[in-house]
Amino acid sequence: MLFGNCLCGSVRWRYLGAFDLMTHCHCGMCRKAHGTAFATYVMGVRDGFAYTAGEDSITCYESSPGFIRSFCHHCGSVLPNTHLGERFAAPAGGFDGDLGISCAGHIFAKWKAPWHPITDRLPQHDNYPGAAAPAVVRAPPAPATAGVLGGSCLCGSVAYEVTGGFKIVHNCHCLRCRKARAAAHCTNGLTAIENLRLIRGEAQLVNYRLPGARYFAQIFCARCGSPMPRVDRERNFVIVPFGSLDDAPVNGAHDHIFVGSKSSWYPITDSLPQFEGPSR
């Protein structure tokens, strides 16, 4: 039996049985929904899955016709997809422990974020293997013009601009980030507060502050759950989830941090520096 939960713990679930497929999805919708470079999904049969708590905390968003995504409306974590008939798919990052499966390959690889190189040797598919028709995906971010990077949530309610580039970009593997993004790791860029301009949707933003955490919080769109930039006034910077960017930044991650708590199912195959805890 495998167990999972969202970041705040309101929504809990279990899965009985074995998963039969794990893939890394690089589609633009997963990038925005998770706020990450890619999302990792495990699949199995719907019968094995059950929510054990918090079903009243689930908000659904139809990201393309007939495709329902779910998230916890308290903390923003992406939740399992229970709207696939007899099949079941869930973001691997929401589960605890060893999932008993390793990744079979990358899907929608053609649409991957330009700032994220794929460095493992797994097969790369441009679409969903065996899919009858091309799935709905968003084009990869266009190169930025004049140093202004646009960003938005999946439903488009919230949009922002960042100027001036990023001081540093981390792939963070801490448990909080993995649960918050329901992914292998987040990719977050840090920039000065004055570099961020919210264009629309401020009223749509939900700010979840993790009890007991000194700084950790997750800001997300109330309608679609996409993680959005978070202004940290105490530390005087903005944390931008790279998956929400519509334009390509000059560079991607500089390092991997908190690799001491990374997931068992995601091997790091690039040559970026790795830090057990925070960097430097």
Q: Mask 182-221, x = binds Zn ion (CB under 5 A)?
A: ---------------------------------------x
What's the chain's length in residues?
280
Q: Rounded to the nearest whole angstrom, what is the least distance from the CB of residue 154 to Zn ion in the complex?
A: 5
Specify the residue, 139 or 146, whose C-beta has the smaller distance to Zn ion: 139
Residue 30 within binding range of Zn ion, rule CB under 5 A: yes
Q: Rounded to the nearest whole angstrom, what is the least distance from the CB of residue 172 to Zn ion in the complex?
A: 19
- H/E segment holding residue 196: strand 196-200
Binding-site size, Zn ion (CB under 5 A): 15
Choose, by CB under 5 A, the member of 37, 90, 109, 153 that binds Zn ion: 153
Residue 10 within binding range of Zn ion, rule CB under 5 A: yes
Q: Which pairing describes strands 247-248 and 196-200: parallel, antiparallel, or unpaired?
A: unpaired
Find residue 168's DSSP bridge partners: 190
DSSP 117-173: ---S-S-B-SS-TT-SSPPP-PPPPEEPBTTEEEEE-TTSS-EEEEES--SEEEEE-
Specify the residue, 4 or 189, whose C-beta has the smaller distance to Zn ion: 4
Specify the residue, 29 or 144, whose C-beta has the smaller distance to Zn ion: 29
Residue 25 within binding range of Zn ion, rule CB under 5 A: yes
What is the SS3 assignment for 204? helix
Q: Do residues 52 and 93 touch, judged by C-beta distance below 8 A?
A: no
CA distance 130 to 118: 22
Choose, by CB under 5 A, the member of 70, 81, 82, 157 that binds Zn ion: 157
- H/E segment holding residue 2: strand 2-5
Q: Rounded to the nearest whole angstrom, what is the least distance from the CB of residue 109 to Zn ion in the complex?
A: 11
Instruction: Write out the binding residues for Zn ion, residues 67-96 only, by CB under 5 A.
Output: 72, 74-75
Q: Do residues 52 and 136 touch, judged by C-beta distance below 8 A?
A: no
Binding residues (CB under 5 A) for Zn ion: these are 6, 8, 10, 25, 27, 30, 72, 74-75, 153, 155, 157, 221, 223-224
